[in-house]
Amino acid sequence: MSQMETKEFQTEIRQLLDIVINSLYTEREIFLRELISNGADASEKVRYLQLSGEEIKDGDLPLEIHIFPDENAKTLTIQDSGIGMTKEDLIENLGTIAHSGSKAFLEHLKGSGKQEELALIGQFGVGFYSAFMVADKVSLTTRSYKPEAQGYRWESDGRGSYSIAEEGDLLRGTKITLHLKEDAHEFANTENIKRIIKQYSSFVPYPVYVNDEKVNTVQALWVKNKNEISQEEYTEFYKYIANAYDEPLLTLHFSSDAPININSLLFVPKTNLEKIGFGRMEPGVNVYCKKVLIQEKAKDILPEWLRFLRGVVDSEELPLNISRETMQDSALIARLNKVVTSRFLRFLNEQAKNEPEKYKEFWEEYNIFLKEGAANDFTHRQDILKLLRFESSKTTDGELISLSDYVSRMKEGQEEIYFINGPSREVIEGGPYLEVFKDKDYEVLYTFDNLDDYVFDVIREYEGKPFISADNAKLNLTSERMDGEGLAEEELKEFMDWLKEVLDAKVTEVRESKRLVDSPAIIITHYGTHSLQRMMQVMNRNLDDVVPGILEINPRHGIIKRLNDLRKEEDSFAQLAAEQLFANAQIAAGIIVDPRSMIHRLNEILEKALG
Ligand code: ADP
Ligand code: MG
């Protein structure tokens, strides 16, 4: 028998509702967009179930959304014929948060402290609760598509609890009635509601009626002709499909018939949410067949590193009844993936050529994804490499070049691509590693991002030219410019033996440098680059975790010659100075040196210097 139950909202939802109810938010009209989207989502699910041959209650009911503003009753009703909800669905979807969206949203609101941010509510998968911005009571009836399911009534004033009771004689779908707050009666006004729908929901793929008048024009923009579409329409469509609140940074709209039929509309959002700490993005491209949604946010239609793209891929060749499971291992999906990815990469290349400023903006926001692709996506690696950009010893601050630019500017006799990692241009250029390259007039790429070094380590070469880090032991370059007398051969050998004894296990070898001009000493590494080593140090949280490298010394340098004299006088200061010489070289290499032991030593040196 019909019985009413009262249940508590989960704590997080209660907190969220508190904020929503008490907000004086001016753009609260977005609640309608959220409720219409939910109706459209529910309709889309019916369409999908129909395609897969499931038995559905009220199968002939048209998929439409009906809205009834009532100025006398001060209510607004939104009705859909979507999949509806069972009792379990109601409890799970509207009373608890399966997908922790409310928590993330609360944290975001706390972080920003801004009311305007409430507009983002839908992005966090908690859009339903926005109804309580305008209503002091929400009453909902719903009946699931499952033939044997009961109908239910759900009610809440948003203050802690809700009630559920059985309700007979319902058609499939959900009907939500908002009892409008005193200060929200404008949402019972028909003209106002029509305006809001046009503003926020014109691309909803199901007809939306206000008092039986159709107000949205359903447009599958991606099958329309490019020159019939305005930039505003693209932007609106982007906002709808990506559930976004910004504008697209880049838009690619293309169709092709060979080798495979495709209509696609792809967007790069203006902001990279991963970069600002939102966590890993979900893929955002929907797959359609002749305008019928096959899979939302499809995982396999693009490689993982393109998860920042939003939009649509439509192909007539997809079988309508393809299931989510078979999509995964379908050869057709793999082919679509390859074609769309290649097309997008070509588009980026054209952007880089034709609109370098725009490309730079894209690069600054999304370079991390391209690097991920270069390292992991073997199929498209060569095309991705063309899109990478770097500063170098021959660019100005902020100017970027491609690997092809680099290779085309290589000097006669230069066989390798050189790079060096550092936190900034100033630090790199102030260090000892560039000396030999300056001398030879070879260009060196600056990698400010450790990820760059990782990518070079993985890909190994470009156009047949191996990558080699300027701090790697394999680097075999000899400076042309060796000013002044160095230590004599015998003496040099004794000095290096002594230095190795002092430094002991901290270095694998002390040897003469053929590359230093102005610096006394330099550390080079057996493994990849120092930046990779530094990453290990940070990851392992151990400053002493330094893999010993090779110390190269410049026998013509004043400090080395003076140190050699001290050594011969058996001055105890010689050891101290040698240790500091080594520490200085470590710092120049970007190795993190434990400052405590060094300060101790520096004080002793100071004392000595001050007499
Ligand atoms: P989201 O839509 O992002 O999942 P919402 O807070 O808008 O978050 O909705 C929560 C859930 O409630 C939905 O995922 C859906 O399962 C259910 N729901 C909301 N409105 C409807 C509706 N009109 N028909 C069927 N289910 C709905
Ligand atoms: Mg929603």
- Could you give phi then psi for residue 347, rounded to 5 degrees? -60, -45
Please give the distance, rounded to the nearest whole angstrom, from the Cα atom of residue 91 to the centre of ligand 1: 12
Give the model's confidence band at 218: pLDDT under 50 very low, under 70 low, under 90 confident, else very high. Answer: low
* Whole-number pLDDT of residue 101: 66
DSSP states of 387-412 as a string? Answer: T--BEETTSPTT--B-HHHHHHTPPT
* 178 C-alpha to ligand 1 centroid (Å): 16
Name residues whose C-beta falls within 8 Å of residue 8's C-beta, 6 or more positions apart in sequence. 14, 160, 161
Ligand 2 centroid to Cα of residue 443, in Å, is 53
Q: Of 227-231, 421-425, 485-489, 534-538, give the lowest mean pLDDT range.
A: 534-538
Query: Which atom of ligand 1 lies at the shortest distance from residue 80's CA?
Result: 23
- For residue 95, how far is its CA from the centre of ligand 1 (angstroms)? 11
Residue 593 burial by Cβ neighbours in a 10 Å radius (0-12, 13-18, 19+) = middle
Q: Is the pLDDT of residue 192 over 90?
A: yes
Residues above pLDDT 70, as percent of the chain = 94
pLDDT for the residue 104? 75
CA distance 553 to 381: 39
267 CB-side CA count, 13 A? 29
Whether 470 and 434 have beta carbons less than 8 Å apart is answered as: yes
Residues 6 or more apart whose CB falls under 8 angstroms from that of 220 comprise 205, 288, 291, 314
Q: What is the 3-state secondary structure (H, E, C) of 71-92?
A: CCCCEEEEEECCCCCCHHHHHH
Question: Which protein residue's CA is at the shortest distance from atom 11 of ligand 1?
Answer: 93
Pairing state between β 284-289 and 310-314? parallel
Convert 268-288 to b/e letters by CB count within 10 Å (16 or more is b): bbbebeeeeeeeeeebbbbbb
Mutation choice for ligand 1 from 65, 83, 93, 172, CB with most ligand atoms inside 8 A: 93
Query: Which amino acid makes up residue 592?
Result: I
Which carries the bigger pLDDT value, residue 576 or residue 545?
Answer: 576
CA–CA dist 297, 310 (Å, integer)? 9
Which stretch of 295-299, 487-491, 506-510 has the lowest confidence by average pLDDT?
Answer: 295-299
| Ligand 2 centroid from CA 100, angstroms | 14
Q: Identify the residue with better confidence: 276 or 495.
A: 495
* Cα of 96 from ligand 1 centre, angstroms: 12
| Residue having the nearest C-alpha atom to atom 6 of ligand 1 | 126
Q: Does the pLDDT at position 1 exceed 60?
A: no
The atom number, within ligand 1, closest to the CA of 45 reads 25
Strand order in the sheet with 284-289: 248-256, 262-269, 310-314, 284-289, 292-295
Q: Could you give the angle at the alpha carbon of 297 between the alpha carbons of 295 and 300, nearest 5°? A: 80
Task: With a cut of 60, say whether residue 465 has pLDDT above it.
Answer: yes
Radius of gyration of the chain (CA): 33
Contact by Cβ (8 Å): 349, 80: no
Kindly list the protein residues whose Cβ atom lies closer than 6 A to any atom of ligand 1: 34, 38-39, 41-42, 80, 82-85, 93-94, 125-128, 174
pLDDT at 437: 96
Averaged confidence pLDDT in the chain: 90
Residue pair 202/81 in contact by the 8 Å Cβ criterion = no
Q: State in Å: Cα 129 to ligand 2 middle.
A: 9
| ∠ CA 370-371-374, rounded to 5° | 85
Counting from 1 in the atom list of ligand 1, the atom nearest the Cα of 83 is 25
State in Å: Cα 574 to ligand 2 middle: 72
Which protein residues have a CB closer than 5 Å to ligand 2 (ion)? 38, 127
Least confident of 34-38, 181-185, 309-313: 34-38
pLDDT score for 502 = 95
Ligand 1 atom 12: residue of nearest CA: 93
Smallest-distance ligand from the CA of 124: 1
**Residue ID of nearest Cα to ligand 1 atom 13:** 93
Q: Region 267-275: what's the mean pLDDT?
A: 92
Handedness of CA 526, 528, 532, 536 (dihedral sign): negative
Quote the pLDDT of residue 303.
Answer: 97
- pLDDT tier, 212 (very low <50, low <70, confident <90, very high otherwise): very high
Confidence at residue 285, expressed as pLDDT on a 0 to 100 scale: 96
Angstrom distances, CA of residue 170 to CA of 80, 350, 551: 12, 55, 82
Q: Residue whose CA is closest, atom 23 of ligand 1?
A: 39
Which one of the ligands is nearest to 42 CA?
1
Residue 124 Cα to ligand 2 midpoint, Å, equals: 9
3-state helix, strand, coil in the chain (%, to 5): 45, 20, 35
Ligand 1 centroid – CA 93 distance (Å): 6
C-alpha–C-alpha distance, residues 578 and 610, integer Å: 19
| CB count in 10 Å sphere of residue 105 | 26
Pick from 17, 33, 41, 171 the residue to mutate for probing ligand 1's pocket: most ligand atoms within 8 Å of its CB. Answer: 41
- What is d(CA 453, CA 456) in angstroms, rounded to the nearest whole number? 5
Nearest ligand, measured from the Cα of 43: 1
Please answer whether residues 184 and 135 qualify as being in contact, where contact means their C-beta atoms are separated by less than 8 angstroms: yes
Contact 175, 218 (CB under 8 A): no
Residue 329 has a pLDDT of: 63
Supply the residue whose CA is at minimum distance from atom 27 of ligand 1: 38
Which atom number of ligand 1 is nearest to the Cα of residue 176? 23
What pLDDT digit, counting tens, does each position of 47-73 carry? 888 888 889 999 999 999 999 999 999
> What's the angle, vertex CA 236, arms to CA 243 and CA 335, rounded to 5?
70
Q: What is the residue with the minimal CA distance to atom 25 of ligand 1?
A: 84
Of the candidate ranges 320-329, 400-409, 557-566, the one whose mean pLDDT is the lowest:
320-329
DSSP state of 96: S
Nearest partner of 311 among 329, 338, 290, 288, judged by Cα: 288
pLDDT for 323: 61
Contact by Cβ (8 Å): 530, 589: yes
Handedness of CA 261, 265, 271, 277 (dihedral sign): negative
Cα 308 to Cα 44, 385, 427, 431, 562: the distances in Å are 23, 19, 33, 37, 58
Q: What's the whole-number mean pLDDT along residues 318-344? A: 80
Task: Please identify which residue in the block is written with the tokens 């559905």.
Answer: 56
User: Across residues 425-431, what is the average pLDDT?
Assistant: 93
Burial of 430 (0-12, 13-18, 19+ CB in 10 A): exposed
pLDDT at 536: 77
pLDDT digits (tens, 9 = 90+) for 77-115: 999 999 999 999 999 899 887 655 677 777 777 777 676
Domains of the chain: 5-214 (3.30.565.10), 221-362 (3.30.230.80), 489-610 (1.20.120.790)
Q: How far away, in angstroms, is 120 Cα from ligand 1 center? A: 16
From the list 272, 222, 220, the residue with the least C-alpha distance to 246 is: 272
| Percentage of residues of the chain with pLDDT beyond 90 | 67
Strand partners, 253: 265
Among the ranges 24-33, 50-59, 167-176, which has the highest mean pLDDT value?
167-176
What's at 23, amino acid-wise?
S
Element (H, E) at 444: strand 444-447
Q: Higher confidence at residue 273 or residue 183? A: 183
Which of 263-267, 282-286, 326-330, 589-593 has the highest average model confidence (pLDDT)? 263-267
What is the arithmetic mean of pLDDT over 580-596?
A: 89
Better pLDDT: 507 or 219: 507
pLDDT category, 441, cuts 50, 70, 90? very high
pLDDT at 328 over 70: no
Burial grade of 173 (CB within 10 A; 0-12, 13-18, 19 or more): buried
Which mutation among 16, 38, 56 tests ligand 1's pocket best, with the greatest number of atoms within 8 A of CB?
38
Residue-level pLDDT at 99: 56
pLDDT at residue 353, as a whole number: 97
Q: Is the confidence at residue 22, as pLDDT, over 90?
A: no
Q: Which of 89, 286, 294 is nearest to 173 (CA)?
A: 89
CA 170 to centroid of ligand 2, rounded, Å: 22
The DSSP letter of residue 434 is G
| Amino acid 322: pLDDT | 63
The residue whose CA is least distant from atom 17 of ligand 1 is 93
The pLDDT tens digits for 145-157 are 999 999 999 999 9
Q: Ligand 1, atom 14: nearest CA belongs to which residue? A: 93
pLDDT digits (tens, 9 = 90+) for 367-395: 999 999 999 999 999 999 999 999 999 99
End-to-end CA distance of the chain: 99
